[in-house]
């Protein structure tokens, strides 16, 4: 056994990762309507603006022809092509030796845009693997267990209200005055384009009835903490950005720059993070985090882990989900990223968190190590639909901040302890997957499992191995 592992290490030390796991947001989509429910029509926007902005429904000139589709919140053709471009770049740079049967694809199959994102990505990354381009071969998530953003609160739900209001909205005093003031400049910037609000009844008697005057109330919906000024400003901020990214001839009525859009998008991320926070991430994202850990352990141990739905031979695991899933993982694991062209922690369309398990070339005694990256196309690249080659998307390494040995190449055993310390076992929705927690607390296999590596590297590192991986 040890010799077998030693041989494997020698073979793999400079080769491809044991496994690469990608959690991606879907590509560019059409906007939701203001308030989030129904279709994006002219009427749904008319209460908030006398200006004319392209809806996507009903189909026809000035609507679906602008966006490329009449489906509300649907992946656009431009968005699909951009995902394919990203896939093609990764396929040629990273996965040229990966075989079709070594790829597993997951998606939030409740969402057509996630299905289409997954198949567009595999079309780019693995053009000759036709079975990977079929929706039927996606590993689905009908009950929102892996891609849970609050849609499934059966195991672990919320009282959210107090947590959100006290911890993130600066109290509800004076109709959420703190929230309004914190984003006043951005809200007014949006209003300088939309000239809210033709329906003066929306402001509850306050005149003039402008965007800032829309009363803010707590709604408790898992996709929007509040309604009113901030929420509607968020709607427009995202609307303008999507117009820009989709390559629409006109965006933000020609009145904002790309830099403005990137800045306003901070409001969209903040809005999601009111709900996708340190409280909710443990409750909603423990299943996904356990599944990520299970994927890595399975690749390392080369034996099937209960609850992990793909084969132990998978070298690439692609998961198409949502911005909310990325933000919840960010919150759960204490991550942060700064991509080129975007504001801090932006989760733009097609943005992805990449988790790699590699053999450690420098210090084999640590066993395989985990590294994370955030990769996303820059705003202009998305707008232009750039085919990557000379131009590359932004790719930054993401620190695993709790890994004291090495936040950029964290020993898998330590990574397991970190993840297990953060998740809530009772919130893991896939039967069997809890064994990543149970075995971790029960076993003391580490560092014994890697004793053989001292034969290769000498014994001088023994001092550094303190049995708790430096984690405590
Ligand atoms: C939205 O549009 C679709 C067609 O794309 C239509 O089938 C559906 O009924 C519409 N829904 C609403 C709420 O208007
Ligand atoms: C790619 O995305 C487009 C736009 O949503 C979609 O129409 C198309 O079916 C997708 N292609 C594949 C192979 O999934
Ligand atoms: C994947 O490709 C990127 C871009 O070329 C490169 O920086 C990175 O090192 C590659 N990773 C692996 C594991 O091949
Ligand atoms: C996504 O694809 C799966 C097949 O894997 C299918 O069952 C599901 O209905 C699709 N979702 C949508 C919204 O079309
Ligand atoms: C918006 O309306 C409120 C009253 O409803 C007013 O106090 C404020 O000055 C207006 N803001 C702008 C930028 O006009
Ligand atoms: C936990 O241990 C059980 C029993 O030995 C094994 O079947 C399972 O695969 C292990 N799970 C993990 C995540 O190591």
DSSP 367-385: -SEEEEEEEE--HHHHHHT
Residue 392 Cα to ligand 1 middle (Å): 38
Domain-by-domain residue ranges, the chain? 2-27+76-147+280-464, 42-66+152-275
Among 334, 331, 294, smallest CA distance to 314 is for: 294
Tens digit of pLDDT for each residue in 337-370? 999 999 999 999 999 999 999 998 777 788 999 9
Which tens digit of pLDDT belongs to each residue from 253-300? Answer: 999 999 999 999 999 999 999 999 999 999 999 999 999 999 999 999
Ligand with smallest separation from the Cα of 413 = 6
**Identical topology for domains 2-27+76-147+280-464 and 42-66+152-275:** yes
Q: What is the pLDDT of residue 442?
A: 65
Q: For atom 9 of ligand 2, which residue has the closest CA?
A: 116
Q: How far apart are CA 218 and CA 175, in angstroms?
A: 9
Closest C-alpha to ligand 1, atom 13: 38
pLDDT score for 130: 98
Residue 447 has pLDDT above 50, yes or no: no
Q: How far apart are the C-alpha atoms of 121 and 103, rounded to whole Å? A: 12
Helix, strand or coil for residue 278?
Answer: helix
State in words which class domain 2-27+76-147+280-464 has.
Answer: alpha beta
Contact (CB, 8 A) for 418 and 403:
yes
N- to C-terminal Cα distance for the chain? 31
Cα 243–249–253 angle (5° rounding)? Answer: 65
For the domain made up of 42-66+152-275, the CATH class stated in words is alpha beta
Note the ligand closest to the C-alpha atom of 56: 1
Give the DSSP letter of residue 427: G
């Amino acid at each position: 056994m040890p010799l077998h592992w030693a041989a494997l290490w020698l073979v793999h030390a400079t080769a491809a990762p044991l496994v690469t796991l990608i959690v991606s947001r879907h590509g560019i989509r059409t906007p939701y309507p203001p308030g989030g429910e129904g279709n994006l029509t002219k009427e749904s926007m008319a209460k908030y603006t006398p200006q004319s902005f392209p809806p996507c429904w009903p189909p026809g000139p000035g609507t679906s022809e602008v966006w490329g589709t009449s489906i509300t919140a649907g992946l656009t053709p431009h968005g699909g092509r951009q995902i394919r471009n990203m896939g093609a770049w990764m396929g040629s740079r990273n996965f040229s030796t990966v075989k079709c049967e070594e790829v597993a694809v997951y998606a939030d199959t409740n969402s057509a845009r996630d299905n289409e994102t997954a198949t567009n990505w595999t079309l780019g990354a693995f053009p000759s693997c036709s079975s990977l381009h079929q929706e039927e071969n996606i590993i689905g998530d009908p009950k929102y267990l892996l891609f849970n953003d609050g849609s499934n609160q059966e195991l672990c739900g919320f009282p959210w209200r107090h947590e959100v209001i006290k911890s993130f909205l600066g109290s509800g005093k004076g109709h959420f005055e703190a929230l309004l003031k914190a984003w006043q400049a951005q809200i007014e910037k949006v209003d300088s384009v939309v000239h809210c609000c033709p329906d003066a009844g929306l402001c509850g008697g306050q005149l003039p009835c402008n965007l800032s005057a829309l009363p803010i109330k707590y709604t408790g919906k898992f996709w929007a903490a509040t309604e009113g000024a901030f929420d509607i400003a968020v709607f427009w901020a995202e609307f303008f950005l999507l117009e820009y990214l989709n390559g629409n001839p006109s965006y933000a009525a020609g009145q904002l720059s790309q830099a403005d859009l990137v800045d306003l998008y901070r409001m969209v991320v903040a809005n999601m993070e009111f709900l996708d926070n340190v409280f909710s991430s443990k409750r909603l994202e423990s299943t996904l985090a356990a599944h990520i850990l299970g994927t890595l352990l399975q690749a390392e141990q080369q034996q099937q882990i209960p609850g992990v739905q793909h084969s132990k031979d998978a070298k690439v695991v692609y998961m198409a989900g949502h911005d909310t899933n990325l933000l919840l993982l960010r919150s759960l694991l204490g991550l942060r990223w700064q991509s080129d062209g975007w504001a801090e922690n932006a989760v733009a369309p097609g943005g992805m968190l990449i988790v790699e398990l590699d053999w450690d070339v420098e210090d084999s005694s640590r066993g395989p190590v985990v590294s994370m990256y955030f990769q996303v196309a820059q705003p202009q690249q998305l707008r232009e639909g750039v085919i990557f080659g000379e131009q590359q998307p932004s790719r930054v390494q993401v620190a695993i901040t709790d890994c004291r040995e090495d936040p950029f190449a964290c020993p898998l055993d330590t990574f397991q302890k970190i993840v297990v310390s953060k998740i809530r076992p009772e919130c893991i929705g896939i039967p069997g997957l809890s064994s990543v927690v149970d075995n971790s607390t029960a076993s003391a296999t580490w560092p014994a499992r890697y004793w053989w590596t001292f034969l290769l590297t000498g014994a001088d590192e023994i001092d550094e191995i303190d049995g708790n991986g430096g984690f405590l």
